């Protein structure tokens, strides 16, 4: 481990920071090991600089397939990879397991809270903030206790246990109304995650669990998908939205649009009327990390940082904000918070910083190349939108499968996911139907 990194991990004094800036390579600190952070780090692999990637998790999650962990198709290890493993061949990159709790723009340092060690200051010459978003309950944080969201592997495993456990409890229940409540699933939010999750639960009910129980019929499961907007998938064209709604209805999902969820509790939800449900899942809004507020930067209505054309802080150019935290408008439209936007922004900022350090001409202002937007709705059906091109059905589904396999973080992830998908495709079964036991002390 280099002397400078050793000091970074143990906390630098003011004199340490001054000496390092005079004699050592530039230090680039990247906060966040998601799509944007990893892409920025990789783009800096040939740069003569010290790159430190800080994340509170030791793994990178392939977020688009997280819903498949929640519905028992894939295991957590199949959609995630250790960040250190991704960085093993990049000699100028070091990884720090810590949560950034503060940013000091004057001293050019961040406060990193390292588990078991405490808070340490890490100085920087360039700072790239690539943190993701967290769930937003629109001012009703009390809903979180009864309606889990889907952002982390822990969330996915908790939802998986909740879904599978609902059928186990229903099998044991004597009261018919309690059985019906256990077999009623409510999803709040009909964006891509909500749609994909609802379709996957429908497949569990009608295919995977068929003939698995003796006292209940999983095919009688009730799945309700609520959306506050006039239609589902509001970010897609209306024609595709209608096709997806029709497909969901065919799978047994009841779509309710223009609905406002007023209350969520242990008995279910209130959305105009009470719906008894033991499993409510939150797939609605998101909120940016509170780190944005520490930057002294203007934010949009959603709380995202209004960055400059180079994705930098308008008043502090060595600081960049990318990914879900950045509010970027292109051709009059805000860029969506999807993986491709984050990856392209990460690569751009990495190359821009590298060019500056090498004394080369910096790239043109960032411009997103739209490769299209996709959502999958169960087996054999997906929608694709790219500009004026709008497709639905089997071919977009096949494209979706190929793209997602290609972009998985490691070869072993690709091989294992392909194997699991083939098994599920031909048998209808899911290999991760595990409900973890609670620790003895919690029983």
Place of tokens 């979180």: 144
Residues whose CB is less than 8 angstroms from the CB of residue 427 and which lie 6 or more positions away in sequence, other chains included: none
Residues whose CB is less than 8 angstroms from the CB of residue 298 and which lie 6 or more positions away in sequence, other chains included: 305, 306, 314
Neighbours of 426 (CB within 10 A): 8
Residues whose CB is less than 8 angstroms from the CB of residue 240 and which lie 6 or more positions away in sequence, other chains included: 233, 383, 385, 390, 392
Q: How far apart are CA 248 and CA 255, in angstroms?
A: 8
**DSSP for 233-263, written as a single string:** STTS-HHHHHHHHHHHHHHTEEEEES----E
443 is catalytic: no
Query: What is the DSSP-derived secondary structure letter of residue 412?
Result: H
Neighbours of 332 (CB within 10 A): 5
Q: How far apart are CA 249 and CA 230, in angstroms?
A: 17
Place of tokens 């906060």: 31
Catalytically annotated residue among 9, 50, 157, 196: 196
Q: Is there a contact between 295 and 303 (Cβ–Cβ < 8 Å)?
A: no
Residue whose C-alpha is closest to residue 124's, from 110, 137, 138: 110
Place of tokens 């009608």: 206
Catalytic residues: 196
């Amino acid at each position: 481990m280099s002397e400078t990194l050793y000091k970074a991990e143990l906390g630098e004094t003011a004199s340490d920071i001054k000496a390092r800036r005079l004699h050592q390579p530039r230090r680039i600190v990247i906060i966040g090991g998601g799509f944007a952070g990893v892409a920025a780090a990789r783009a800096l692999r040939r740069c003569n600089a010290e790159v430190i990637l800080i994340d509170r998790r030791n793994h990178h999650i392939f977020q688009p397939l997280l819903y498949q962990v929640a519905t028992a198709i894939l295991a957590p290890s199949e959609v995630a990879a250790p960040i250190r493993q991704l960085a093993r061949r990049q000699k100028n990159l070091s990884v720090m397991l810590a949560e950034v709790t503060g940013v000091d723009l004057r001293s050019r340092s961040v406060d990193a809270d390292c588990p078991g060690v405490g808070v340490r200051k890490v100085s920087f010459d360039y700072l790239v903030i690539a943190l993701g978003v967290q769930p937003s309950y629109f001012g009703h944080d009390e809903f979180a206790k009864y309606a889990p969201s889907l952002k982390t592997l822990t969330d996915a495993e908790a939802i998986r246990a909740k879904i599978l456990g609902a059928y186990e409890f229903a099998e044991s229940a004597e009261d018919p109304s309690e059985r019906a409540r256990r077999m009623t699933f409510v999803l709040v939010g009909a964006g891509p995650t909500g749609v994909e999750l609802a379709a996957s639960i429908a497949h569990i009910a009608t295919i995977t669990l068929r003939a698995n129980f003796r006292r209940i019929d999983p095919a009688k499961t009730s799945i309700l998908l609520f959306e506050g907007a006039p239609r589902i998938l509001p970010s897609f064209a209306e024609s595709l939205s209608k096709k997806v709604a029709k497909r969901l209805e065919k799978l047994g999902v009841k779509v309710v649009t223009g609905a406002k969820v007023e209350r969520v509790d242990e008995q279910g939800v209130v959305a105009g009327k009470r719906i008894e449900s033991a499993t409510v899942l939150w797939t609605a809004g998101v909120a940016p990390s509170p780190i944005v507020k520490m930057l002294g930067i203007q934010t949009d209505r959603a709380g995202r940082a209004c960055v400059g054309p180079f994705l930098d802080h308008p008043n502090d150019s060595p600081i960049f904000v990318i990914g879900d935290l950045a509010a970027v408008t292109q051709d009059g439209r805000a860029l969506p918070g999807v993986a491709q936007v984050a990856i392209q922004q990460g690569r751009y900022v990495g190359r821009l910083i590298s060019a500056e350090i090498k004394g080369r001409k910096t790239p043109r202002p960032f411009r997103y190349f739209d490769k299209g937007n996709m959502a999958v709705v169960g087996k054999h059906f997906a929608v694709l939108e790219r500009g004026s091109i709008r497709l639905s059905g089997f071919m977009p589904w096949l494209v979706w499968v190929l793209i997602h396999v290609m972009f998985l973080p490691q070869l072993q992830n690709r091989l294992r996911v392909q194997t699991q998908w083939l098994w599920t495709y031909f048998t209808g079964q899911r290999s991760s139907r595990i409900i973890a036991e609670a620790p003895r002390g919690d029983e």
